[in-house]
Amino acid sequence: MQSVKSLERYVKIVNREVPARYLISKRIEVNFDEQSDIKELFAIHKNALQKFYATLKKIDSRSLKLNDLKIPKKSFLDLKVAIADKIMESCIFCERRCKINRKAGKLGFCKVGTEWKIFGAHPHFGEESELVPSATIFQAGCTLRCVYCQNAPHSIDPELGVAYKVGDVKNWIERMFDTGMRNINFVGGSPTPYTYHILKVLNLTEKNIAIIWNSNSYYSKETAELLKGVIDVYLLDFRYYNNKCGEKLSMVKNYREVAARNHIQAFGDSELLVRVLVMPGHLDCDAKPILKWLREKLGENLRLNILGQYWPAWKASNYKELNRRLKIEEYKEIMNYAKKLGFKNLV
């Protein structure tokens, strides 16, 4: 497999040279009481995260092996599951912060309840070359409502997914590992409403396989904390720079600020691959300022995929500027703009 600058650790996991992050989190000992409130649990999480980073450093420098670490009574990953379990009672996994009790049957914007609703799970060959074959789980339910969504209506309606038990997903992950998949790719819809389920299944799994968080970037700062020490590659979309475009096309108010915060967090935590979908009529208000921001904040070596395959899916035909494919000259304009900005690691 070709080495990819900026995804170096991911490549090492694929080559079985280092363990996936979630396996390390399972070996970090943490003492906590499940009855504590969420604030206290996050305070313990903050300290445990530093322990995780120190251990990761030792493992990557080969001064420590994963198997040198005992399996603790309670682990960093157990703590994450306990926090996520509490969030299910007042949901703030995404920035909509509905604060509804999903365990009591209440539904928020995404309409995801307690069941793990999946509308597809299979090897995927359409991702970036370093990611394929990618064992991809398409989860039903989303935190945005993009009028051009290619996977709607399944992506936005949990009722159209099939309920899977965590144990079934664990068995599927292990089968995918055994058949040579390079990673487990949690996508949707959005993986965000399923943060609890994802952490839970990883707590049951033992295979050394890279974990990908494939997201629209609209998750809360609490979810961002829970992902640290678990995610090997953040595969993040940056959709809008102009919040008015986000409001009009995805029913979301503060997209730019949330996406920007999560890109910076992901970049500081682990490895990051960013996707920018270029949409007709949104070159100057979104694509260009997003690229400029990415270059300024995340540097020239950011692994970046500028997508030119937009087509007017789902309800896009109701929006004049979106009711056509992107022209080749528009794509070239954006690519030239990115090259002028100095990006050196374009997909």
Binding residues (CB under 6 A) for ligand SF4: these are 91-94, 96-98, 100, 108-110, 112, 143, 192-193
* Cβ within 8 Å of residue 213, ≥6 positions away: 186, 191, 227, 231, 233, 234, 235, 236, 266
Nearer to ligand SF4, 32 or 109 (CB): 109
Residue among 92 and 137 whose Cβ is closer to ligand SF4: 92
Nearer to ligand SF4, 17 or 257 (CB): 257
Q: Which is nearer to ligand SF4, 75 or 216 (CB)?
A: 216
The least distance separating ligand SF4 from the CB of residue 169, rounded to whole angstroms, comes to: 19
45 touches 79 (CB < 8 A):
yes
Q: Which residue is nearest to ligand SF4 (CB)?
A: 108
Residue 238 CA: distances (Å) to CA of 165, 217, 290: 31, 7, 7
Comparing C-alpha atoms, which of 88, 77, 65, 85 is closest to residue 28? 77
Min dist CB 115 to ligand SF4, Å, is 14
The phi and psi torsions of 74 (rounded to 5 degrees) equal -130, 135
Pick between residue 12 and residue 97 the one whose CB is nearest to ligand SF4.
Answer: 97
**Nearest-CA neighbor of 210 among 26, 15, 344, 50?**
15
Closer CB to ligand SF4, 56 or 137, in the complex? 137
Q: Are 49 and 81 in contact (CB under 8 A)?
A: no
- Return the structure tokens found at 121: 């799970």
Choice between 108 and 280, CB closer to ligand SF4: 108
Least spacing, CB of residue 100 vs ligand SF4, in Å: 6
Cβ 201 to ligand SF4 shortest distance, Å: 17
**Would you say 90 or 305 has its CB closer to ligand SF4?**
90
In whole angstroms, the minimum distance from the beta carbon of 232 to ligand SF4 comes to 23
CA distances in angstroms from 240 to 147, 243, 280, 281, listed in the order given = 13, 7, 13, 12
Q: Are 6 and 345 in contact (CB under 8 A)?
A: yes
In angstroms, what is the minimal distance from the CB of 239 to ligand SF4? 16
Residue written as tokens 């539904």? 107
Task: Note whether 211 and 103 are within 8 A (CB).
Answer: no
Shortest gap between Cβ of 157 and ligand SF4 (angstroms)? Answer: 13
Question: Least distance from C-beta 88 to ligand SF4, angstroms?
Answer: 9
DSSP string for residues in 165-191 = -HHHHHHHHHHHHHTT-SEEEEESS-S
